[in-house]
Structure 1
Amino acid sequence: MAEHDIEIAYVGACMTIPEVLEVTTLDNSQFESVMCRRLFESMKDRHNRGLGVSQATMSDLFPDYARDIWSSTDVMSDVLLWATHEDGIKLRAMRRTVRDAALRFQQLADAPEADMDTIVDVIQSVTADTLAADERRASSMISDARDVLAEMRKAVKVYPSPWKTLNDTIAGFAPGRMTVLGARPGVGKSAVASQIAYELASHGPVVFATMEMDKGEVYSRIVSQQAGIYYGGMTGQLPEFLAAREDEWLRTQLRDIRVIDSGTQTVQSIRAAVRATAREQPVAGVVVDYIHLLTTPQRIENETQRINEITRSLKQMAMDLQVPVIALSQLNRGGDTGMPTLKDLRGSGGIEQDADAVIFLYRDEHTADEQLMVHIAKNRQGPNFVTFSLNWEGAFVRAMDPAA
């Protein structure tokens, strides 16, 4: 596909796929086409100001480009490859920068009046300008250590979990970090994730992306856990005393947990929801239930590569948006007995590499009704291989500190 076609397809995606403008890392200067550059700059400005972006809107604003705007989505399969096109636009912008630098070096080499100092100065200047075109620049600790550390300590907050021993071990959930919860089906990882979400929501809104439960199930589970209401087996109206307890809790204890319960989700769509929430107030956490049900923008046949792409994107989201991410994970079918280990994670290589902490949940058949075992298998912030137990209260589907 020609460079101009890639840019047109990307512009078409910006106008028709809401998440693109939320997650794009392009700068308008990276477009070669003047038309695409102007359209992208305008769309980003409108999006940042909360104004609508569509083909109709952009055609009204740029009537000279109307035909190109409406034809930008003629080949929808190209539009859907917007993430690939974004990388292509960046690469080609860098190639243009390198070609310009090479031309300047050629002119310098052919200039008879250029002395040694001039040559060195021009080479250093052009090289610096070329590297500046790439966002991935290194800074020196000598020049910015004090400022960076001061800013980090001012900005970073570590949010506690509901359980003291876990907080003592992993130091809570911090912006930029990804924590993975792994367990076999039915052990309680979604229940634990709900408790974490409610705790985090005491510090700000939490985005809870679930592909296993609908919004009603998430809400009823949180109310049951926090208000101590047993819903099991109930249909129709609640008994009067439970309805009164539920009403009192809803009136006084609600927290801002924003549930996304559509069946098909991507990291990009979750990222868009987090960005939209962050425009209102800082997000305290993102819960993903669970990694293996997420899809990727491009179809990836190899399951290991697909999981690697998803976990890499989740970690990048945590770092870029400075939010804690708690992601649930399935285990391999082979690991059916005993406390799980890192090799039991499905797609374990990518998950183990990208996660800052990996926490396994396990219930022994002899104490399953009373205890939930927690095992810290990876912990970048503290000790590894720490195991402790929580009291399991099945009626309310919750785990509690033994001393609680």
Structure 2
Amino acid sequence: MTEPLWEPDLLPDEQIAPHNIEAERAALGSTFYDLTAIDAIDRVIAGPEDFWEHRHQIIWQTIAGMYCRDRKPKIDPITVAAELLATGELTKIGGAAYLHELAQSVPVVGNADGYAEIIREHAQLRAVLTATRKASQRVMSAANTAAEILEAAMADLQAAAKGVQPADEKLSVADRWMGFVDELEAGHDPRALDTPWYDLNEIVELKPGQLITVGAGTGQGKSLFGMNLAAHIALTRGRPALVASLEMGGSELMARLTAAEAGVNVDKLVRRKLDPSDWEKVFRAAPKLQNAENFILDDSPNLTLGKIRARVRWMAASGRTPAIVVADYLQLLTPEPSGKKERSRANEVAELSRGLKLLAMEFEIPVVALAQFNRGAVGRQPLVSDFKDSSAIEQDSNVIVLMHRPLAEDGSDTGPRAGEIDLIVAKNRNGASGRIVALTFQGHYARLRSMGRG
């Protein structure tokens, strides 16, 4: 018998939220007849929360746990009831009798995936309903600006739309083999991005889903690295790029970008003091820059991971999904609000680091996080343990590049290695680590160059 949709403890709009009790019962009941039904359901739904009824969530978690725990699991109404009794949840689901009802409610035993698709569809519809309700509440309370409300709504809707791996996704070695051979013949991973520094490219590739962390001390060139890299992807390779900067405002970012591309002293651009020869260089670079619609510089105040994610979604919705995201810099990002009353700074930075890693994986793009060293790294070659505030940065990163300028003892850029900067590849999951690449440091042009290339 189908239970009534009305429940007295729910608000009216929650009572009519999309759900299909028959499909939920049939899916759960199918697992009692055929263990392969568990895999079929698991491939389609996002998790227990896709079930509308709370007791169905409990039953699914129990069945899935039993299935994963034992080599040859025995799953039927009796064994599941015994498991629920042991965990103290049998009465929550309506007793053992309800499990037998589920077994009797299966129209077709071999259609578990079809029932799961109905469950998933209704769960996504509920998520959309929740997202729109939250957006309406934000509008009515006027607690945020229109732009902030829109970004939050986009994030909620994107989360609602996010599905799971399709059942026909090719995961076997046989499915993957020919694609891998094609990459071998091409001599590179076609999804990977290069950098503007040919000698660094011999060691590091920027692959989708990776977090690449670039560390440096104050004024040691990490922002130059980030802007030069993003400009290379956007202007030279013609791919969309996003720079999310809390270090500099839009005007300063434009001055540095123009200095690097035009070869004009950045100080003249910042002070707006150009001579005729400078203007000539700027005009030569103008066509490239004035058509750089795919190069996005986000200098919004109080940038959070949520805002960066919303910006990526906005770019994707406008047909220019970023090929790379550069965050400048990690420790300046504003942590997302948390229910925890007290969080240490180390925990906050760890959450930011992990969030950037998840962003890379979610959109299958490389995310480059610029990060600050602590004061103990001043005056010596840096280590991966020198990142300010958290050791989690080292753990989350696929690639770590440490920047070091070999300055004189008095801190001046003099001596046998004046005008140079070292990129130390301290971690590299897809290649050699411990290698050092020396670049030319052209701070007056806001750029880094490979040796021998002015």
TM over 0.5: yes
Rounded to whole Å, the distance in 2 between the matches of 1:375 and 1:141 is 38
Residue in structure 2 matched with residue 12 of structure 1 by the alignment: none
Rounded to whole Å, the distance in 2 between the matches of 1:365 and 1:295 is 33
Residue in structure 2 matched with residue 287 of structure 1 by the alignment: 326
1:349–1:217 Cα change, 3 Å:
same
Which amino acid counterpart does residue 402 of structure 1 have in structure 2?
M
Residue by residue over 1:24-50, the C-alpha shift from the partner in whole angstroms, topping out at 9 and shown as x without a partner, is: xxxxxxxx9345559xxxxxxxxxxxx
Which amino acid counterpart does residue 164 of structure 1 have in structure 2?
Y
- 1:166 counterpart = 2:204: no
Give 1:260 deviation, angstroms.
0.8
1:199–1:233 Cα change, 3 Å:
closer
Residue in structure 2 matched with residue 199 of structure 1 by the alignment: 232
- 1:316 counterpart = 2:358: yes
Rounded to whole Å, the distance in 2 between the matches of 1:149 and 1:270 is 35
Give the alignment partner of residue 272 of structure 1, picking from 298, 306, 310.
310
1:262–1:228 Cα change, 3 Å:
same
Give the alignment partner of residue 226 of structure 1, picking from 244, 255, 261.
261
Residue in structure 2 matched with residue 61 of structure 1 by the alignment: none
Superposition TM-score, scaled by structure 1 size? 0.68
1:98–1:248 Cα change, 3 Å:
same
Rounded to whole Å, the distance in 1 between the matches of 2:334 and 2:177 is 37
Rounded to whole Å, the distance in 1 between the matches of 2:424 and 2:201 is 13
Asked whether the 8 Å contact 2:420–2:438 carries over to 1, the reply is yes
Give the alignment partner of residue 279 of structure 2, picking from 243, 253, 267.
243
Give 1:339 deviation, angstroms.
1.1
Higher RCO structure (Cα 8 Å, ≥6 apart): 1
Residue by residue over 1:222-249, the C-alpha shift from the partner in whole angstroms, topping out at 9 and shown as x without a partner, is: 1111211113256345212211220221
Give 1:352 deviation, angstroms.
1.0
Which amino acid counterpart does residue 219 of structure 1 have in structure 2?
M
Give the alignment partner of residue 386 of structure 1, picking from 416, 435, 442.
435
Rounded to whole Å, the distance in 2 between the matches of 1:374 and 1:94 is 55
In the comparison of the two structures, how many residue pairs are matched?
321
Rounded to whole Å, the distance in 2 between the matches of 1:379 and 1:98 is 41
Rounded to whole Å, the distance in 2 between the matches of 1:108 and 1:92 is 16
Larger Rg: 2
Asked whether the 8 Å contact 2:250–2:298 carries over to 1, the reply is yes
Residue by residue over 1:80-124, the C-alpha shift from the partner in whole angstroms, topping out at 9 and shown as x without a partner, is: xxxxxxx9994986954334557993348768x99xxxx9x98x9
Residue in structure 1 matched with residue 448 of structure 2 by the alignment: 399
1:327–1:129 Cα change, 3 Å:
same
- 1:215 counterpart = 2:250: yes
Residue in structure 1 matched with residue 295 of structure 2 by the alignment: 257
Give the alignment partner of residue 375 of structure 1, picking from 408, 421, 424.
424
> Which runs of structure 2 are paired with 1:35-46 in the superposition (5 Å)?
35=16
Rounded to whole Å, the distance in 1 between the matches of 2:262 and 2:310 is 32
Which amino acid counterpart does residue 161 of structure 1 have in structure 2?
T
Higher mean C-alpha displacement, 298-307 vs 352-361: 298-307
- For the aligned residue pairs, the C-alpha RMSD in angstroms reads 4.1
> Which runs of structure 2 are paired with 1:4-403 in the superposition (5 Å)?
33-35=14-16, 90=49, 95-99=54-58, 105=77, 106-107=96-97, 144-148=172-176, 157-171=191-205, 173-201=206-234, 202-233=237-268, 235-252=271-288, 255=292, 256-279=294-317, 280-299=319-338, 301-366=343-408, 367=415, 369-403=418-452
1:151–1:394 Cα change, 3 Å:
same
Asked whether the 8 Å contact 2:331–2:372 carries over to 1, the reply is yes
Give 1:309 deviation, angstroms.
0.9
Q: Give the secondary-structure state (helix, strand or coil) at the position aligned to 2:311.
A: helix
Asked whether the 8 Å contact 1:369–1:394 carries over to 2, the reply is no
1:198–1:95 Cα change, 3 Å:
same
Over the matched positions of the two proteins, sequence identity in percent amounts to 23
Residue by residue over 1:6-61, the C-alpha shift from the partner in whole angstroms, topping out at 9 and shown as x without a partner, is: x99xxxxxxxxxxxxxxxxxxxxxxx9345559xxxxxxxxxxxxxxxxxxxxxxx
Rounded to whole Å, the distance in 2 between the matches of 1:284 and 1:140 is 26
Which amino acid counterpart does residue 157 of structure 1 have in structure 2?
R
Q: Give the secondary-structure state (helix, strand or coil) at the position aligned to 2:325.
A: strand
Residue by residue over 1:292-312, the C-alpha shift from the partner in whole angstroms, topping out at 9 and shown as x without a partner, is: 111122146311111111111
Rounded to whole Å, the distance in 1 between the matches of 2:357 and 2:217 is 23
Asked whether the 8 Å contact 1:331–1:344 carries over to 2, the reply is yes
Asked whether the 8 Å contact 1:285–1:325 carries over to 2, the reply is yes
1:334–1:100 Cα change, 3 Å:
same
Rounded to whole Å, the distance in 2 between the matches of 1:140 and 1:353 is 33
Rounded to whole Å, the distance in 1 between the matches of 2:226 and 2:16 is 47
Rounded to whole Å, the distance in 1 between the matches of 2:171 and 2:424 is 41
Which amino acid counterpart does residue 98 of structure 1 have in structure 2?
Q
